[in-house]
């Protein structure tokens, strides 16, 4: 039962994250397009972050290294609980979340936390 609820929650979170960029684009249509940028190098990690990453399984390390530098840096800014939830998101959702403005990001995190945290009844 819990596994099904988590799956349904992840689908809902994915849908919310998928729709958020569309809403942002609709609001920002009048803004000039940003200049194209060269691919950013991997984010700089502290020795503590590098040590933590080295303890991960190889597939998790490879997934992390495949994220854009902005997403990698955002991951390290999260609390431990949010880092765990971040891993449950699709990579496209991780990137979208890392590129959002802070107010939108917090709104999405409220939805993610509400769906992923077990209900206290």
Q: List pLDDT tens digits, range 80-115.
A: 999 999 999 999 999 999 999 999 999 999 999 998
* Whole-structure pTM value: 0.64
**DSSP code, position 29:** T
The beta strands (E) that lie in 1-121 are given as none
**What does the radius of gyration of the chain's CA atoms come to, in whole angstroms?**
16
CA–CA separation, 31 and 33 (whole Å): 6
Residue 89's alpha-carbon distances to 75, 78, 95, in angstroms, are 12, 14, 10
Residues of the chain with pLDDT under 50: 26, 30-40
Half-sphere exposure of 74 (CA within 13 A, CB side): 19
Residues in Cβ contact with 79 at an 8 Å cutoff, skipping those fewer than 6 apart: none
């Amino acid at each position: 039962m819990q596994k099904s609820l988590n799956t349904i929650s992840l689908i809902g979170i994915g849908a919310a994250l998928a729709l958020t960029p569309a809403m942002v684009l609709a609001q920002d249509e009048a803004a000039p397009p940003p200049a194209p940028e060269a691919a950013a190098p991997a984010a700089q990690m502290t020795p503590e972050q590098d040590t933590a990453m080295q303890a991960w399984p190889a597939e998790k390390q490879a997934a992390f290294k495949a994220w854009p530098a902005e997403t990698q840096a955002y991951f390290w800014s999260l609390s431990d609980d949010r880092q765990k939830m971040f891993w449950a998101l699709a990579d496209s959702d991780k990137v979208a979340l890392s590129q959002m403005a802070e107010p939108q990001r917090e709104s999405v995190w409220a939805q993610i936390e509400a769906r992923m945290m077990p209900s206290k009844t």
